[in-house]
Amino acid sequence: MLTFGCSLAVLVNAHADAPLGWIHSDQRSAYTPQAWSLELTLGELAVNETIDFLNIREELLAGTRALEGDSGDLSGSLAGLQIGLTPGLSAFYRRQKTALTVDIGTVSSINLLDIDDSLDTTQTSYGIKWNLFEAGVFDRARPWQALTLELSGVKNHTEDFQGSLDRIDLTENFRVFFTNPQTFAVESLADEGWLARLIYSMPVAETMTASGWIGYSESAGTSGTGAISDVPFLADALTQSFEMDESRLQLGASLHWFITPRIPLQLSYEYIRVNDTELQINASSNSSFLPSFLRGANLNTATAQGNHTLHGSLSYWVTPLVHVSVTGKLFRNQFLGLITHYNNPLSASFANQPYGYIGIEIGARLRAER
């Protein structure tokens, strides 16, 4: 992951502003950007055979027989914006686009002529952070106690995953061949929801701050399969829709430590508990003839109800205005509780597998006294 960032800020005598040298990035804390400030982040994401975080990519391949080749590779980009509206109120926007390689192996029940090889997903979040309480020594060079409410909206969307075939096996001894290739797709992949989170930050040493938070979120997602087919039987079998509603409880903690004044270390952990999942499947009785990566019945096989996530970054302030960071993220159950519509026939088969990636960030900050 490679991130480029720049910010324009105005210094004011506001206690809610983050301590000097603080790196916001996407690490959570109760501190807000400086009043009347603008922070912009741009970046790139990547994990592949060379950049394989803790052999996560290899474990993904080993965990499911449906995938092979470069499955688990990820590339993408991100953009983030934070605006300090008042000393204790800020707004943020974050957009991330990723391509997760999904290399389907040989499927014995059909003859694939062509098929996409990635899930192309766009994740968007936006909202506000409102400082509710602060106490302690208000020296902007040191941390203090603060309590903040974060309210955000979340939207995720994935492009259709398409393929074509010219043969399907209805039974072990009964094959159907098609003169014209038949096109199918995993489609309508989208979800949206909201999140509310209370974040508390406090100093635990002169150069160390701890934060803790509790959050609640709800999300509704859709997915389905369809076909462009002149064969009524196949079109009927491939017409499926899946609707999911879920609520989630989130508990987390983070540590921000200035190892030296120019080298901050940020570590965070969050547990996401998925509750009250409601799944509605609308499928034809003929769908039982479909291969497993298209069959909606597989949506009932997921057993994980929670996800453990880790996030870390080690930064270096090259100058008081420019920093470079090495970052990493790790998920115990891939994107469970993060992207609702990933519970679709294609990705549900490996949703319970660990996943993660590492990266590099470059940030710049411009400040003007007022």
pLDDT in tens, 272-327: 999 878 888 888 888 777 887 888 876 754 566 899 999 999 999 888 888 888 88
Q: How far is 209 from 220, CA to CA, in rounded Å?
A: 35
Cα 130–205–133 angle (5° rounding)? 20
Q: How far is 167 from 161, CA to CA, in rounded Å?
A: 19
Confidence of residue 47 (pLDDT cuts 50, 70, 90): confident
* Rounded-to-10 torsion of CA 106, 107, 109, 111: -60
State yes or no: pLDDT of 3 exceeds 50.
Answer: no
Break the chain into its structural domains and give their ranges.
2-369
The reported pLDDT for the residue numbered 218 is 96
Q: What is the mean pLDDT of the chain?
A: 84
Q: How far is 145 from 143, CA to CA, in rounded Å?
A: 7
Please tell me the least confidently modeled range out of 113-122, 129-138, 169-178: 169-178
Q: How far is 53 from 226, CA to CA, in rounded Å?
A: 35
The reported pLDDT for the residue numbered 10 is 32
pLDDT (tens digit, 9 = 90+) per residue, 322-339? 888 888 899 998 888 899
According to CATH, the superfamily of the domain at 2-369 is monomeric porin ompg (2.40.160.40)
Spell out the residues 6+ positions from residue 355 whose beta carbon is closer than 8 angstroms to its own: 56, 60, 72, 330, 331, 334, 335
Specify the length of the chain in residues. Answer: 370
Sign of CA dihedral 343, 346, 347, 352: positive
Confidence of residue 26 (pLDDT cuts 50, 70, 90): confident
2 conformational bin, left if phi > 0, alpha if psi -120 to 50, beta if neither: beta
**Hey, which residues does 201 pair with through a beta bridge?**
146, 211
pLDDT (tens digit, 9 = 90+) per residue, 221-258? 999 998 888 888 888 888 999 999 999 999 999 999 99
Collapse the DSSP code of 354 into the 3-class scheme (helix H, G, I; strand E, B; otherwise coil) and give the result. coil
Q: How far is 63 from 52, CA to CA, in rounded Å?
A: 16
Cβ-contact 154, 219 below 8 angstroms:
yes
Confidence of residue 63 (pLDDT cuts 50, 70, 90): low
